[in-house]
Structure 1
Amino acid sequence: MANPNKARGTQWESDVRDYLNAALGLVDDVGKFLDPFDAHNVRRPAQEGAADVGDVHAVPFVLECKAVKSPAVPTFLRQAGVEAVNAGFPYGVAVVKVPRQNTRRGKVHFAVATWTRIRRAIGLSAPEFAKRYGFTPSLRGLDTRKWYLTTDVEAFGVLLGDIRAARHAE
């Protein structure tokens, strides 16, 4: 790949996909899908046409993965929301690489509205939800559109398993 920034971004997407598949027990010891046809496998979709569908699909989430020096989280969250709609998924989140850290320490950012919808779907109070998944708020300025909540990829893997279980129980 000629563009090193593109290569870093593609590697980050693959790292997030691989980590989540392993954390959810969807792959064997060498990373091969246990069931290649399982709709819950975390995948990097092929990009088609003008309507971007996100970098990684982890049902019911579209993940917008970024490996950048200066994260613009509110912009990434707006992009994730649009791409989730394009892909037909209910939730979009931004996953940002932390330099020189393991994939599980990457930051997963949620818009406040998305966080609230997921919290309600799981059936937890705001303090319970924040504590269980290690969320911290970023409430910068008076513009609530720029507010978001953050956890790490490791806790997100647990949350992903829990929301899938809650949706399956419905």
Structure 2
Amino acid sequence: MSNAAKAKGTRYESEIRDFLNANGFTVRRVVQMGRADQGDLHGYPLHIIEAKSVKSIDLPAFVRQADREAVNAGESFGVCFVKKVRGSTGEGYAVRSIATDIRLVRRLQVMEEALQDADFGRWFDIDEELREAA
């Protein structure tokens, strides 16, 4: 990898970190670890993020890498954030396999049902707040 490509990747990782942090998360870049790599960004709940700012997009390889690095990091889900050419950071793409997405949505469904059972009033307030924010 050339220094220019590495700088481009580092810049995109920093853009994602800053964007997520500006949106209420506490995300940090992590040191690469070769075969035991644990993704590019940590602190996005339940996920590791693999960031890609490349000309040639290879979704299967990106998803495999994110899934492998999630396992290495001990996180439940891997996601690859792919830069949109001439787009803002928020216009990029979050890519995962359908199987991973099903596991994530199932987890959200079960946790939401648990919150409804434990404290329906709190669930209702949160649901209403998040619907208004959309």
Q: What is the TM-score with the length of structure 2 in the denominator?
A: 0.76
**1:97 aligned residue (55, 61, 83):** 83
Mapped contact 1:65–1:96 kept (Cα < 8 A): yes
| Counterpart-to-counterpart distance in 1, 2:90 and 2:83 | 9
After TM superposition, which residue ranges in structure 1, 4 or more long, deviate above 3 angstroms? none
- Equivalent residue for 2:17? 17
- Equivalent residue for 1:54? 39
| Counterpart-to-counterpart distance in 1, 2:37 and 2:45 | 16
Shift of 1:49: 5.2
What is the letter of the counterpart of residue 42 of structure 1?
V
| Counterpart-to-counterpart distance in 2, 1:85 and 1:108 | 18
Q: What SS does the aligned partner of 1:19 have?
A: helix
| Counterpart-to-counterpart distance in 1, 2:35 and 2:97 | 24
The CA RMSD measured in Å over matched residues stands at 1.8
| Counterpart-to-counterpart distance in 2, 1:47 and 1:80 | 13
**1:77 aligned residue (49, 56, 63):** 63
- Equivalent residue for 1:68? 54
What is the letter of the counterpart of residue 38 of structure 2?
V
1:13-34 residue CA offsets vs partner (Å, 9 max, x unmatched)? 110111011112x5xxxxxxxx
Shift of 1:76: 0.3
Q: What SS does the aligned partner of 2:35 have?
A: coil
- Equivalent residue for 2:93? 107
Any unmatched runs of 5+ in structure 2?
111-126, 128-134
- Equivalent residue for 1:45? 30
Shift of 1:122: 1.3
What is the letter of the counterpart of residue 17 of structure 1?
R
- Equivalent residue for 2:132? none
Q: What is the TM-score with the length of structure 1 in the denominator?
A: 0.60
The structure with the largest alpha-carbon Rg is 2
| Counterpart-to-counterpart distance in 2, 1:11 and 1:76 | 18
What is the letter of the counterpart of residue 54 of structure 1?
G
Shift of 1:97: 0.4
Any unmatched runs of 5+ in structure 1?
27-40, 125-161, 163-170
Mapped contact 1:64–1:92 kept (Cα < 8 A): yes
| Counterpart-to-counterpart distance in 1, 2:39 and 2:22 | 21
Shift of 1:59: 2.6
